[in-house]
Amino acid sequence: MSRRGERPPPEALATLPVAVDAMGGDKAPGEVVEGAHRAATGHGVGVVLVGPPEQVGDTQGLDLLPCTEVIGMDEDPAGSVRRKKDSSLVRAAELVRDGKASAMVSAGNTGATMASALLRMGRLPGVQRPCIATPLPRLGRTPAVLVDAGANAECTPGMLVQFAQMGAAYVSARFGTEAPSVGLLSIGEEPTKGTPLVKETHALLNDEAASGDFEFVGNLEGRDLLPSPADVIVTDGFTGNVTLKTLEGSLRFLFDTLLGVFGTDDETRTASQALLPHLLPLAAEFEPENTGGAMLLGTDGVCVISHGSSNATAMLNAVLVAHECATRGLADHVAAAVRSNEKG
């Protein structure tokens, strides 16, 4: 499925628009178009919307690639991508494949977004399975990334090693991190702790880190995730997805609880006025809309998977991250990271 060598070089990608699935997410098309418009007018990033014109409506002057179909949030990913060949998701992926867009962005059906990117762009050479990299905030520092955040419920040790390589390439390309540190999520620090999958991966990562692309810091536990001492946290997509949603849920629960306390009476409302200026910047670091969304790694082209509840700000940031990563040659870096393993 790979198309090695056909992707335009990074300097050419910089001149291409980002393909935005205008119909993806709970707030499409309104907030999606608004976010794309802000990226184009406020940041000079080219955008091409993809969607059925009559459903998209006002494009705010942005280019639109018309299509006739939309994949719903609850549709079967693989089946819908096979069936709906003229859907906004499939057409967006084809724009990247055909060198007409630098990257794609969607806040729609996550599985269908992955399937579109995988089936239309193809996998990078040597990549067994693409994975999802999701940022975890580290107050005042660049975020850590969790791989795999949910693309692959079942994994082999070899896949987890590739997730580490791809995740390290991603934080290098996006944040400029040199020799990123990689930790393996487990249930104890000792290499003997965990499932056979984790124990075997631990040994492989030790070997792989010797090649020099990343530093392996050993096992991490759930309590180490906020803030993560490692730039990349590797796990299977089942554990990763459960962990990520556990973090999201506990943070939201505590924020809601805190807001409830603030509103108890006049005294607490007054007190909250003194605290909010200090709390809001911290809360902003935990707000998914500010992180640019999750990145699909391992496909032959850049694909950003935004949260289904994305608003215009989230879409703006997703477009900016997609453009930046494409321009910095993310796919080339990921391909090189995986290739270096094949040689070793």
Torsion, Cα of 148, 293, 45, 55 (10° steps): 110
Q: Whose Cβ is closer to a second copy: residue 192's or residue 211's?
A: 192
Q: Are 71 and 84 in contact (CB under 8 A)?
A: yes
Other CB atoms within a 10 A radius of the CB of residue 344 amount to 11
- Smallest gap from Cβ 240 to a second copy, in A, equals 9
- Smallest gap from Cβ 219 to a second copy, in A, equals 11
Q: Please list the alpha-helical segments (H only) found in 70-195.
A: 77-83, 88-97, 110-116, 157-175
- Smallest gap from Cβ 188 to a second copy, in A, equals 8
Token readout for 182 is 């990689």
Question: Which residues of the shown chain bind a second copy in the complex (CB under 8 A)?
Answer: 139, 150, 153-154, 185-187, 193-196, 198, 221-227, 235, 237-239, 241-254, 257-258, 261-262, 264, 267-268, 270-275, 278-279, 282
Q: Whose Cβ is closer to a second copy: residue 285's or residue 332's?
A: 285
Q: Whose Cβ is closer to a second copy: residue 178's or residue 267's?
A: 267
Exposure of 4 by Cβ count < 10 A (0-12 exposed, 13-18 middle, 19+ buried)? Answer: exposed
CA distance 33 to 30: 5
Q: Whose Cβ is closer to a second copy: residue 212's or residue 227's?
A: 227
Over its C-alpha atoms, the chain yields an Rg (Å, rounded) of 20
- Smallest gap from Cβ 323 to a second copy, in A, equals 30
Q: Whose Cβ is closer to a second copy: residue 223's or residue 343's?
A: 223
Q: Whose Cβ is closer to a second copy: residue 1's or residue 276's?
A: 276
- Smallest gap from Cβ 276 to a second copy, in A, equals 10
- Smallest gap from Cβ 155 to a second copy, in A, equals 10
Question: Kind of pairing, strands 103-106 and 18-21?
Answer: parallel
CA distance 106 to 301: 14
Residue type present at position 143: P
Other CB atoms within a 10 A radius of the CB of residue 251 amount to 15
